[in-house]
């Protein structure tokens, strides 16, 4: 067995030991830092983080009307929050035409809670009343311009909580 004194006499071993220490400290700082940021975001907003539609590869962040982030899909103020009774209405520049009846729409909340909705209606309409839902239940409506980037029509996907 080699003693610590003998171990550290080798310059190569000293350098390897220091590098291992720096790497360990770096990993710990990053792990603690990201948990702190996630905790602060979750407690600060207590809100939805992202909408995912696996069938079309969509993963987009949620933007709230008071947010300064221009990317993502906007949760319409006054509509229900996902999972609550009523219609959670989202709109934005996202490409929805490949969404099909029966597809899953996943709302990821606080990076830990996921709500899974099933698509029950896909339609093209001239306008959308965000209070319009399918009756009693927990619904999610996604709305985007149609054709993509246009302004006269809307492509609408309605999903119900599974």
Q: Quick one: 54 and 40 in the same domain?
A: no
Domain count across the chain: 2
Q: Quick one: 73 and 86 in the same domain?
A: yes
Q: What is the pLDDT of residue 8?
A: 62
Q: Quick one: 37 and 17 in the same domain?
A: yes
Q: Quick one: 36 and 83 in the same domain?
A: no
Write the CATH number for 62: 2.40.260.10
The DSSP symbol for 145 reads E
Contact indicator for 91, 60 with CB cutoff of 8 Å: no
Provide the domain limits for residue 17.
4-44
Q: Quick one: 16 and 92 in the same domain?
A: no
Q: Quick one: 15 and 58 in the same domain?
A: no
The predicted-structure confidence for 112-143, as pLDDT tens digits, reads as follows 778 999 999 999 888 655 445 566 789 999 98
Q: Quick one: 14 and 33 in the same domain?
A: yes
Q: Quick one: 17 and 39 in the same domain?
A: yes
Nearest to 159 by CA among 125, 136, 124, 133: 133
Q: Quick one: 72 and 145 in the same domain?
A: yes
pTM given for the model = 0.64
Q: What is the pLDDT of residue 55?
A: 94
d(CA 6, CA 34): 39
Q: Quick one: 52 and 37 in the same domain?
A: no
Q: What does the pLDDT profile of the chain (162 residues) look like in tens digits?
A: 676 677 667 777 766 666 665 565 555 455 554 333 333 333 334 444 789 999 999 988 888 665 555 567 888 888 888 889 999 989 888 888 899 999 999 998 776 778 999 999 999 888 655 445 566 789 999 988 887 666 778 889 999 999
Q: DSSP secondary structure string, 72-139?
A: SEEEPTTSPPTTSSEEEEEESS---TT--TT-EEEEEETTTEEEEEEEEEEEEES---TT--SSSSEE
Q: What is the pLDDT of residue 39?
A: 33
Q: Quick one: 25 and 87 in the same domain?
A: no
Q: Quick one: 154 and 77 in the same domain?
A: yes
């Amino acid at each position: 067995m080699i003693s610590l004194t003998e171990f550290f006499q080798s310059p190569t071993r000293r350098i390897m030991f220091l590098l291992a220490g720096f790497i360990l400290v770096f990993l710990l700082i990053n792990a603690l830092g990201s948990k702190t940021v996630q905790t602060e975001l979750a407690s600060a907003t207590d809100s939805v983080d992202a909408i995912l539609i696996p069938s079309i590869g969509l993963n987009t962040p949620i933007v709230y009307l008071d947010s300064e982030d221009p990317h993502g899909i906007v949760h319409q103020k006054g509509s229900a929050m996902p999972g609550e009774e009523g219609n959670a209405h989202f709109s934005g520049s996202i490409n929805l035409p490949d969404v099909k009846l029966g597809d899953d729409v996943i709302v990821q909340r606080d990076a830990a809670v996921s709500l899974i909705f099933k698509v029950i209606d896909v339609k093209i309409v001239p306008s959308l009343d965000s209070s319009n839902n399918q009756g009693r239940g927990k619904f999610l409506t996604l709305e985007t311009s149609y054709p993509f980037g246009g302004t006269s029509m809307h492509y609408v996907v309605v999903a119900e909580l599974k």
